[in-house]
């Protein structure tokens, strides 16, 4: 596309629009969804793509998956199951600070693999603050662990982190593809990070027997609020997981449909047997759980990236990367891994991944189509998700934990975080690098 728009080459305009989105996100001067919608409107009005092309560019499977999971988790959190699990885990290690740090980290990693990272830390961090206050411990190492392990855990599955949802939906990688390919890498990283946290913090933590005894008197069963809803939630979550694996592989039902169907079923079951006003109230509350600004951020972004793609710029970027790496598959994978780590540490990884998807797809001409490109996708997944640990603004979960810490009077400064978070991130990326080389590139 070599068109001129208002006398300016279309490619320049597309880059300027994308640059504006990045600049506003970095400057934090405007809501992300608003700037994405402003940018996508501009792209259409200026003629970078027409309305039909813009609608075609929206990946509704990703949006349905996000909306469905937000509704399911929103209803499920009312049951108190997350607090229950955290308290049971704390009691299982006899409230020892060292054990507590390990179990809370593992819980966060596991929850993050199946829930959105921000939701996970919103549910677990208040409990972490309570338990550390109870044991008279400084919460910082526990909060740092929450950040690191939420981003690590989120990398393991298709639904763990929005970049994975984007990649999985665009490329057709299934829930099981993610679990089998990313799962082993994440287990290795979790084990190493548990050791690191224990070495630097866990083994030095001490508390009084009296404080531990107090915590051991907690009754986790009382944290469970609505047993009937809990059973319904687990039933639906089981069906959704089966849908992600069996449904996708055998019935060819997309993950977005499965998640949205699960959300609809859970809302139906939640309202079952209640009066209409109560049913409406429950449905309204469930829809309220959807983070609509995230949904519209994605929607706008799909259109902005498509406008870049239409100008042929992303194909050009793909050519540049492959020529930079001399067309070497391994080198290209490593460049994607480290570049996505760097970008994700400093800017939101979602626009970066959305931009990289068509770039990598264009590399199919050099490296082959379909499964041949999978190692590059896994490089992008690992770099984009784990890179989010690099700085305090690298991922939304980090910002959320920092906000909780601030409210509780234990502020985490940007530099203090970077001094510890960045080396830990580099360590996780080094492990990922070795994993990628051993499993896919050598």
Q: Which is nearer to another protein, 61 or 119 (CB)?
A: 119
**Does residue number 91 form part of the binding site for another protein (CB under 8 A)?**
no
Beta strands in 138-256 (DSSP E): none
Rank residues 122 and 152 by Cβ distance to another protein and give the closer one.
122
Contact between 285 and another protein per CB under 8 A? no
218 near another protein, rule: CB under 8 A:
yes
Least Å distance, CB 438 to another protein, is 42
> Could you tell me which of 267, 111, 397 has the C-alpha nearest to residue 259?
267
- The stretch among 97-105, 124-132, 156-164, 362-370 that binds another protein (CB under 8 A) is 124-132
Q: Quick one: residue 31, left, alpha or beta (phi over 0 = left, psi -120 to 50 = alpha)?
A: beta
Smallest separation (angstroms) from another protein to the CB of 83: 7
SS3 93: coil
Q: What minimum distance in Å lies between the beta carbon of 126 and another protein?
A: 5
Residue 76 near another protein by CB under 8 A: no
Q: Does 374 bind another protein (CB under 8 A)?
A: no
Provide the b/e sequence for 24-50 (b: ≥16 CB within 10 Å).
Answer: bbeeeeeebbebbbbbbebbbebebbe
**Which of 9, 99, 126, 312 forms a contact with another protein (CB under 8 A)?**
126
How far apart are the C-alpha atoms of 243 and 253, rounded to whole Å?
A: 8
| Residue 210 touching another protein (CB under 8 A) | no
209 lies in the site for another protein, by CB under 8 A:
no
8 Å CB contact between 390 and 341: yes
Place of tokens 């049913």: 279
β-partners of residue 4 are 9
Nearer to another protein, 135 or 299 (CB): 135
Tell me the closest approach of the beta carbon of residue 80 to another protein, in angstroms. 8
Binders of another protein in range 100-119 (CB under 8 A): none
The piece of 192-200, 213-221, 247-255, 377-385 that touches another protein (CB under 8 A) is 213-221
**11 or 207: whose CB is closer to another protein?**
207
Confirm if 308 and 21 have CB atoms less than 8 A apart. no
For 16, 73, 379, the CA distances from 382, given in Å and listed in that order, are 28, 25, 5
Largest CA distance in the chain: 76
Whether the CB-CB separation of 139 and 408 falls below 8 Å is answered with: yes
Residue 352 and residue 394 in contact, taking contact as beta carbons nearer than 8 Å = no
- Footprint (CB under 8 A) of another protein, residues 297-336: none
261 touching another protein, by CB under 8 A: no
* Euclidean distance between CA atoms 294 and 139, whole angstroms: 29
Q: For residues 129 and 407, what is the distance between their CA atoms, to the nearest angstrom?
A: 11
Rounded to a whole number of angstroms, the minimum distance from the CB of residue 73 to another protein is: 15
Q: In terms of C-beta density within 10 A (0-12 exposed, 13-18 middle, 19 or more buried), how is residue 420 classed?
A: middle
Residues 134-153 that bind another protein (CB under 8 A): 134
Interaction pattern, residues 11-50, with another protein; x per rule: CB under 8 A: ----------------------------------------
Closest approach, Cβ 216 to another protein, in A, equals: 10
Question: CB–CB of 194/99 below 8 Å?
Answer: no
> Would you say 201 or 404 has its CB closer to another protein?
404
Q: Which stretch binds another protein (CB under 8 A): 55-63, 212-220, 293-301, 341-349?
A: 212-220
DSSP for residue 201: T
Q: Using CB under 8 A as the criterion, what x/- string covers residues 383-422 for binding another protein?
A: ---------------------x--xxx-------------
The DSSP output letter for 274 is S
Out of 3, 28, 56, 133, the only residue in the binding site for another protein (CB under 8 A) is: 133
Binding region for another protein (CB under 8 A): 80, 83, 87, 122, 126-127, 129-130, 133-134, 214, 217-223, 225, 404, 407-409
């Amino acid at each position: 596309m070599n068109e001129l728009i208002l006398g300016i080459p279309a490619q320049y305009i597309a880059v300027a629009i994308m640059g504006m989105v990045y600049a506003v996100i970095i400057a934090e001067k405007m809501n992300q969804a608003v700037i994405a919608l402003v940018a996508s409107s501009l792209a259409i009005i200026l003629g970078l793509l027409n309305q039909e092309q813009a609608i075609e560019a929206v990946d509704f499977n990703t949006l349905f998956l996000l909306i469905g999971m937000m509704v399911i988790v929103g209803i499920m959190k009312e049951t108190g199951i997350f607090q229950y699990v955290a308290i049971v885990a704390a009691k299982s290690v006899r409230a020892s600070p060292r054990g507590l740090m390990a179990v809370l980290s593992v819980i966060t990693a596991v929850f993050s693999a199946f829930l959105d990272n921000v939701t996970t830390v919103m549910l677990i961090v208040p409990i972490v603050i309570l338990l550390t206050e109870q044991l008279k411990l400084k919460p910082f190492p526990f909060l740092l662990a929450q950040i690191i392990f939420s981003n690590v855990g989120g990398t393991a599955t298709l639904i763990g982190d929005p970049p994975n949802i984007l990649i999985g939906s665009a490329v057709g990688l299934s829930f099981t593809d993610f679990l089998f390919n990313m799962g082993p890498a994440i287990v290795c990283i979790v084990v190493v990070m548990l050791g690191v946290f224990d070495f630097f913090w866990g083994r030095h933590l001490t508390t009084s027997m009296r404080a531990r005894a107090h915590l051991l008197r907690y009754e986790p069963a009382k944290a469970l609020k609505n047993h009937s809803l809990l059973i319904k939630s687990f039933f639906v979550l089981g069906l959704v997981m089966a849908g992600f694996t069996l449904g996708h592989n055998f019935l060819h039902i997309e993950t977005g449909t499965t998640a949205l169907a699960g959300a609809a079923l859970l809302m139906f079951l939640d309202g079952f047997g209640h009066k209409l006003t109560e049913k409406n109230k429950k449905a309204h509350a469930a829809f309220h759980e959807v983070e609509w600004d995230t949904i519209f951020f994605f929607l706008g972004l799909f259109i902005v990236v498509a406008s870049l793609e239409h100008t042929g710029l992303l194909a050009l970027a793909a050519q540049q990367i492959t020529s930079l790496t001399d067309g070497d598959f391994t080198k290209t994978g490593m460049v994607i891994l480290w570049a996505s780590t760097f970008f994700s540490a400093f800017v939101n990884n979602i626009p970066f991944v959305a931009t990289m998807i068509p770039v990598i797809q264009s590399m199919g001409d050099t490296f082959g189509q379909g499964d041949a490109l999978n190692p590059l996708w896994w490089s992008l997944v690992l770099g984009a998700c784990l890179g989010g640990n690099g700085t305090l603004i690298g991922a939304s979960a980090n910002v959320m934990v920092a906000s909780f810490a601030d409210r509780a009077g234990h502020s985490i400064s940007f530099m203090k975080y970077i001094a510890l978070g960045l080396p830990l991130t580099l360590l996780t990326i080094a492990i990922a690098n070795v994993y990628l080389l051993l499993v896919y590139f050598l």
